Structure 1
Amino acid sequence: MNPQIIDNHGSISAIKVMPKTQPPVKLRLWTIEEYHRMAEVGILQPDESVELIAGQIIKKMSPQGSPHAASIRRTDRVFSHRLTEQVLIQKQLPIQLNDRSEPEPNVALVRVDPLDYADHHPLASDIYLIIEVADTNLQIDCQIKARDYAQSGIADYWVLDLNHRQLHVFRQPTPDGYQSEVILAEDASVSPLQFPSCTITVSELLPPVIES
């Protein structure tokens, strides 16, 4: 409803209120070089848990609980046993997607490198599969990171949802995001795109249910 104004003669007229338009917020995006420099000069402290995602420095969520850590261990063990010598498995180590993204996914399956990537972090072209383990950070993993991974051409991206004991499988990357998202229950099976003969049950990646 528009506000009204009464003049000295008692006449009432409406005031047409023009909608307020807010200018778009412009973010100052950081490059990987600037990100590393901030760490070198002490702007970012060594114990700060942060990642550079799409030019933004994102603080990771609360410290890992036991179920989160257990899931990373189980995921590492499953792929280590099934894909021995075929991949290098990274756990919470950096990958470089472009000049503005250097995330540290919980698990990444990357190409075997004879130098173990001593001279550079794995690039998007080196990555077979990225897996994030989500408890308190499901929205970040399924939205912010998913968009960045898709724009970087990561063909296979999984988010393990601990709270609902299910797996989000993102595929068909485009500049606008992933065109396919399938949610699998814990009794469902899935295979990495690059290794179709490697069949995994979602429950193998989840922490065991502990009866109270």
Structure 2
Amino acid sequence: MTVTTAKWTIEDYHHMIAAGILSGRQVELLNGEIIDRVPEEEYHAYSSDEAGEYLIYLLGDRAKIRQAKPITLPQSSSEPEPDIAVVQRLGRDYRQHHPYPENIFWLIEYSNSSLNKDLEVKSKIYAAANISEYWVINLQTAQLIVFRVPTAEGYQSQSTLTQGEINPLAFPDVAVSIKRLIGD
């Protein structure tokens, strides 16, 4: 006997949200599957919130910083909620849709207990969506893991940093302090 898992579309997922089926549940849609999100611990919440404020200061009007809000990746039937999405400023357009891949400069996830999902599952989803840059803050080791050069199979470049500064691909003139991102 073959077991088949039902895959959900983004439209199905939105209907479930609108109908209240997922009310009170912390979930996200990844590759057509509804996945529970781990609640944020204090260190995770503090670090991602501080980093969001820091990026708002650094980027000003050049980008919108969305914290723990959905993005829509139609080609993979995914609607993840990254801790930080650095996106184009489209104003009221976001009343009609979450940011699409072409609206995203880069994404950041803060990881502790969700590290495997963020490094393995989400990195492949983001690369397949052609998101040029994806950062994972490993809260266990105080490291920034940088993914670049997306392909359909995953990112071709991965580096790990613990100090200094990094210049995002979308804003090469902006120096981001790794210490400030990690929350030290």
TM-score (norm 2): 0.93
Name whichever of 111-120 and 145-154 sits farther off: 111-120
For the pair 1:95 / 2:81, whether they are aligned, the reply is no
Code of the aligned partner of 2:116: Q
Where do 5+ consecutive residues of structure 1 fail to align?
Answer: 1-21
Provide, for residues 141-167 of structure 1, a one-character-per-residue CA deviation record: whole Å limited to 9, x for no partner.
001000000000000000001110001
For the pair 1:129 / 2:106, whether they are aligned, the reply is yes
CA distance in 2, matches of 1:133, 1:92: 11
User: Which entry has the higher C-alpha Rg, 1 or 2?
Assistant: 1
Per the TM alignment, residue 202 of structure 1 is displaced from its structure 2 partner at its CA by 1.2
Which is richer in helix? 2
Per the TM alignment, residue 36 of structure 1 is displaced from its structure 2 partner at its CA by 1.7
Name whichever of 122-131 and 91-100 sits farther off: 91-100
CA distance in 2, matches of 1:151, 1:26: 23
CA distance in 1, matches of 2:37, 2:19: 21
Aligned pair partner of 1:84 in 60, 65, 69: 60
Match of 2:40 in 1: 64
Q: Matches of residues 156-171 of structure 1 in structure 2 within 5 Å?
A: 156-171=133-148
User: What's the secondary structure of 1:115's corresponding residue?
Assistant: helix
Structure 1 contact 168–181 (Cα < 8 Å) conserved? yes
Match of 1:10 in 2: none
Aligned pair partner of 1:202 in 175, 178, 181: 178
User: What's the secondary structure of 1:57's corresponding residue?
Assistant: strand
User: What's the secondary structure of 1:83's corresponding residue?
Assistant: helix
Code of the aligned partner of 1:71: S
For the pair 1:115 / 2:92, whether they are aligned, the reply is yes
For these two proteins, the number of residue pairs brought into alignment is: 183
Provide, for residues 120-174 of structure 1, a one-character-per-residue CA deviation record: whole Å limited to 9, x for no partner.
1111000001000001100000010000000000000000011100011001111
Per the TM alignment, residue 116 of structure 1 is displaced from its structure 2 partner at its CA by 5.3
CA distance in 1, matches of 2:27, 2:89: 26
Aligned pair partner of 1:151 in 121, 128, 135: 128
Aligned pair partner of 2:13 in 35, 44, 56: 35
Code of the aligned partner of 1:52: L
Residue identity over aligned pairs, in percent, reads 37
CA gap of 1:70–1:176, structure 2 versus 1, over 3 A, is: same
For the pair 1:105 / 2:78, whether they are aligned, the reply is no
Code of the aligned partner of 2:119: C
Structure with more relative contact order (C-alpha pairs < 8 Å, separation 6 or more): 2
TM-score (norm 1): 0.82
CA distance in 1, matches of 2:80, 2:43: 22
